């Protein structure tokens, strides 16, 4: 498979230079944009993006501000879904994209929901990967337990073992090579020779400062907008963030959606699993 891509950049409204990978070239169909999770970056889709591009789709994979090769923000209060969504809109405008198919993992799915509320016409179809309008406290607490700690490691094996310590329950089927692969997607080799997480540690600050007693926004209206479009819903069987009950309610409210549960995986499926690839391909067939 041709895994080649072009590194490109766009500008945020507040002057940051943000990075994206481009696979394939523009055609008659809307492009596919893959949106990563909270602590991740473009490398999360380094296998999925060429798989999609091979089918003739134009694929863009951005790293949101504070991740990967995108600039870090000076103020941590811009690290929130609303700002990421505005950054995404800036990318759409820069690339003259009227509408696109969104593949959103975790935070990327929340961005998709936010965009559905702001500019629903920009979304031609969507996949929500282990995310929905209702998030479980246990999953949020798990994220708070590891985000922003700034650890670094001497070797990729040490990094892989550290990931396994934190995420082992979510990926019980992973072997050593799987953890090393995840480490190389999630961490980066620094100038000092240490291996560190490839994101700005300050992205944790708004999450840690959030008022736990605050009423969360009602995302069901945005979900209902997506339910009227080609839609795919994916959940990890072991997910602590998206409950089976919330997933069933999503399926009830979107009866035409493609839906699947990835067995023996927690938050979040990598989208390289066979069950996930089938869902992606079915969604793209509906959007073609």
Cα-Cα-Cα-Cα dihedral sign, residues 187, 193, 194, 198: negative
Q: Is 242 left (phi over 0), alpha (psi -120 to 50) or beta?
A: beta
CA angle at residue 23 from 99 to 269, to 5 degrees? 80
What domains sit in the chain, N to C, each tagged with a CATH number?
6-146+211-287 (3.40.50.1820)
**Is 213 a residue whose pLDDT tops 70?**
no
**Is 177 a residue whose pLDDT tops 90?**
yes
Q: What is the pLDDT of residues 28-39, one digit of tens each?
A: 999 999 999 999
Three-state DSSP state, 79? coil
Q: What is the pLDDT of residues 70-108, one digit of tens each?
A: 999 999 999 999 999 999 999 999 999 999 999 999 999
Q: What is the pLDDT of residues 121-144, one digit of tens each?
A: 999 999 999 999 999 999 988 998
**Distance between CA atoms of residues 185 and 164, nearest Å:** 14
Crossing angle of the two packed helices 107-118 and 220-227, in degrees rounded to 10: 80
The one-character DSSP state at 199 is B
CA dist 23 → 28, 49, 60, 98, 173 (Å): 15, 7, 6, 18, 30
Mean pLDDT of 4-25: 97
């Amino acid at each position: 498979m041709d895994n080649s891509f072009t590194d490109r950049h766009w500008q945020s409204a507040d002057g940051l230079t943000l990075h994206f990978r481009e696979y394939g070239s523009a055609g008659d169909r809307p492009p596919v944009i893959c949106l990563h999770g909270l602590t991740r970056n473009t490398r999360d889709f380094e296998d999925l993006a060429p798989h999609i591009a091979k089918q003739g789709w134009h694929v863009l994979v951005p790293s949101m501000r504070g991740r990967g090769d995108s600039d870090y923000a000076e103020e941590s209060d811009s690290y929130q879904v609303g700002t990421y969504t505005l950054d995404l809109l800036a990318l759409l405008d820069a690339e003259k994209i009227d509408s696109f198919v969104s593949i959103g993992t975790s935070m990327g799915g929340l961005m998709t929901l936010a965009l559905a509320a702001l500019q629903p016409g920009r979304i031609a179809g969507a996949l929500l990967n282990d995310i929905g309008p209702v998030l479980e406290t246990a999953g949020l607490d798990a994220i708070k337990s590891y985000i922003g700690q700034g650890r670094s490691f001497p070797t990729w094996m040490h990094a892989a073992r550290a990931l396994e310590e934190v995420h082992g329950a979510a990926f019980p089927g992973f072997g050593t090579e799987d953890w090393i692969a995840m480490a190389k997607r999630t961490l980066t080799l620094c100038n000092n020779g240490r291996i560190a997480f490839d994101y700005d540690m300050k992205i944790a600050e708004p999450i840690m400062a959030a008022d736990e007693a605050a009423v969360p926004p009602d995302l069901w209206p945005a979900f209902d907008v997506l339910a009227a479009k080609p839609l795919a819903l994916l959940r990890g069987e072991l997910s602590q963030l998206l409950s089976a009950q919330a997933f069933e309610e999503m399926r009830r409210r979107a009866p035409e959606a493609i839906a699947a549960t990835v067995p023996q995986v927690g938050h979040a499926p990598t989208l390289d699993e066979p069950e996930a690839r089938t869902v992606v391909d079915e969604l793209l067939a509906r959007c073609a």
